[in-house]
Structure formats: structure tokens, C-alpha cells
Amino acid sequence: MKFATQALAPAVAALLLVASPLQAQVFPRGNGISLTDKDTFDMYVQINDWRDMRQDMDSFRLTTLRMFEQDLQEQGIRRRPGRSLLVCNVQAVRNRSQIFYNTTIEYWELESTKVNWLQWAQSGLNIIAANKFNEALVAEECASRFVAEWNRWNPVEEDDLYYNDYN
């Protein structure tokens, strides 16, 4: 019996190691499943780095937030304060006539008495001519990146298409 236990223990351990990744979500990028059946979020635009930029940071942030909210609303995603939070993080650095910038969209589940949970995040690094960098560009990047993932987990039903076409 001792031999069988010694021989089977490594095999069972190996099987558990191989099988466990199949059950797990890759966090947070692969955790888009956490967006299933959610269509209301609180929204925020956060600027983490704003070096040598000519635009006023606060004005840029607020205008981007309004545009971000509008872009999502057009997709059926509404803004409502609560436990689900979307954050569009922006970092931008000007170098002569070019702007190097990063946008990261994050989905957080907020807990009033516990640690907040980052559920999903995705980012992109870009270079653009300084005269082309604006609030609409940043809002659309964050919104389109989020909507692409959100649509994966919230497919449109045929009945919804029919209803929307005729109402």
C-alpha cells in the first residue's frame, strides 16, 4: 500500500497542476468574464502623468470624461454611481511635435469595507503628432477598448436587434 501511495502521489499532483490552469482566469486581462450582465458603471478619467503638455490637465480630464461617458452610452452602457467603476487612466508626455501617451482602461469592483478588486484592465501605448492629440481621441480609445471586451461577454440577442430596429 505504501508503494501505491508513493507512486500515485506525484501523478495526482502533476494532474492537479495541469488541470488547475484550465479552471482559472488569467488576471486581470483575461478576466473579461467579470463584465457579464453589467451595463451600469461609475466612470472616471485619471491623469497619472502630464509632462510638458500644453493643455490644462483638469479641463482635459473633465472633457475626456464627458466624451468617454457619451461614447459608452451610445453602446448601451450607462453611468451610475455604485460598486462597478471604469477608470480611463492617461499618461502623456510631449517631446517637441510628438506626444507619447498611454491609455489604460480598468474595471474595478468597489467594496465599502474591504479591499477594492481590479477585475480587468487593458492598455495601449501610442505616438501621435501633438496637434492631433485631444480629448475625443483619448475618450474613444478607452471606450472602444472597453466596448470590444464588454461585447465579448454581453452578446446582443436577436430579439434586441429586432426591437431596436423598429422602436
pLDDT (0 to 100) of residue 32: 87
Residues 6+ apart with CB under 8 A from 58: none
pLDDT (0 to 100) of residue 16: 38
Is 88 in contact with 45 (CB distance < 8 Å)? yes
Q: What type of residue sits at position 2?
A: K
3-class SS string, 32-97: HHHHCCCCEEEEEEEEEEEECCCCCHHHHHHHHHHHHHHHHHCCCCEECCCCEEEEEEEEEEEECC
Check whether domain 32-155 has CATH 1.10.3110, yes or no: no
**Residues 20-38: what's their mean pLDDT?**
66
Rounded-to-integer distance, Cα 41 and Cα 80, Å: 5
pLDDT (0 to 100) of residue 114: 84
User: Phi and psi (nearest 5°) for 52?
Assistant: 55, 25
Residue 10, Ramachandran bin (φ over 0: left; ψ between -120 and 50: alpha; else beta): alpha
Predicted confidence (pLDDT) at residue 4 exceeds the cutoff of 70: no
Cell of residue 70, nine digits: 457619451
The pLDDT tens digits for 147-158 are: 999 999 999 876
**Residues 44-69: what's their mean pLDDT?**
98
Rounded-to-integer distance, Cα 53 and Cα 6, Å: 65
- Of the chain, the percentage scoring pLDDT greater than 90 comes to 69
Lowest mean pLDDT among 17-21, 56-60, 93-97, 122-126: 17-21
**Residues 80-109: what's their mean pLDDT?**
97
Is 41 in contact with 134 (CB distance < 8 Å)? no
pLDDT (0 to 100) of residue 31: 83
Rounded-to-integer distance, Cα 136 and Cα 66, Å: 10
Q: Taking the model in full, what pTM does it have? A: 0.77
Domain residue spans of the chain? 32-155
